[in-house]
Amino acid sequence: MEKTTVLYAGKAKQMFNTDDPDVLWVEYKDQATALNGKKKVQIAGKGELNRKISSLLFAELNAAGLPTHYLKTLDATTMLVKKCTMIPLEAVVRNFASGSFERKFQVAHLRPLVPAVHEFFYKSDALDDPFINDEQAIALGYADQATIQAIHTLSDQVNAYLKERFAQLGIDLVDFKLEFGRLSDGTLVLADELSPDNMRLVDQESGNSLDKDVFRKDQGPLTPVYAQVLERLQSVVSR
């Protein structure tokens, strides 16, 4: 398999077309960004850690019957994924209050949220990824009713799986952001990435963040924290 033209050059990943029209080549970069790209730093080893964590979790979800775009790993920072047409929504699921939710409602940090809260944000750097509700997304043609419903269902299933997986490691899954796409046959799949760049993880014992909040809040070096998440995931293998 060879990569051909650049499809997309993002902040943390670069995607290429390949000689197979159904397969894309994804390279994870050593770049960390926050504040919609306003804070940007090179962090050696970050791309490899995010690729490894994403590969591991995507493979487990595939095995659990939850469809993702992941096909296989090529090297330290590269994976192959199924090509899909992306839905321009970020699906956020929250189990505990943090981040923008905590700021918006001025509630206690890590207050448990029951039921888990689902929020959509419209993917637009120019608009700073604004919140969008289900009807707004449908009326603006970003997804139809059935797709919105299917995303809610799959997001709940992914949340149930990951919450339990991290709980076994002494980690609370606070919140996370998912992106979905459709394969050429119409199947809805989880796409983008699954790493501490797009989820908040809190160590149950110490209360320390094990995710990109360490970078956002300047709490110290990022790679040892991501390496710890990977080690814990590898130390307890899913059943």
CA distances from 53 to 83, 135, 173, 211, 231 (A): 20, 34, 15, 12, 9
Instruction: Choose among 93, 44, 28, 49: nearest CA to 233.
Output: 49
Pick the closer one to ligand 5GP by CB: 3 or 200. 200
Residue closer to ligand 5GP by CB (options 101, 180) is: 101
Closest contact distance (angstroms) between CB of 185 and ligand 5GP is 28
Nearer to ligand 5GP, 16 or 101 (CB): 101
CB count within 10 Å of CB 39 equals: 12
C-alpha pair distances (Å), 210 with each of 87, 170, 227: 28, 11, 10
| Residue (of 199, 181, 182) closest to 93 by Cα position | 199
Q: State the minimum distance, in angstroms, from the CB of residue 216 to ligand 5GP.
A: 9
Shortest Cβ 237–ligand 5GP spacing (Å): 24
100/238 with CB nearer ligand 5GP: 100
Site residues, ligand 5GP (CB under 6 A): 90, 92, 98-101, 129, 175-177, 197-200, 212
Nearest of 187, 188, 196, 169 to residue 28 by alpha carbon: 196
Q: Which residue's CB is nearer to ligand 5GP, number 12 or number 143?
A: 12
Shortest reach from residue 50's CB to ligand 5GP, in Å? 10
Least Å distance between CB 212 and ligand 5GP? 6
Length of the chain: 239
Q: 23 or 161: whose CB is closer to ligand 5GP?
A: 161
Query: How many CB atoms sit inside 10 A of residue 69's CB?
Result: 25
Q: What residue type is assigned to position 226 of the chain?
A: Y
Q: How far is the CB of 99 from ligand 5GP (least distance, A)?
A: 2
Buried/exposed code over 50-63 (b: 16+ C-beta within 10 A; e: otherwise): bbbbbbbbbbbbbe
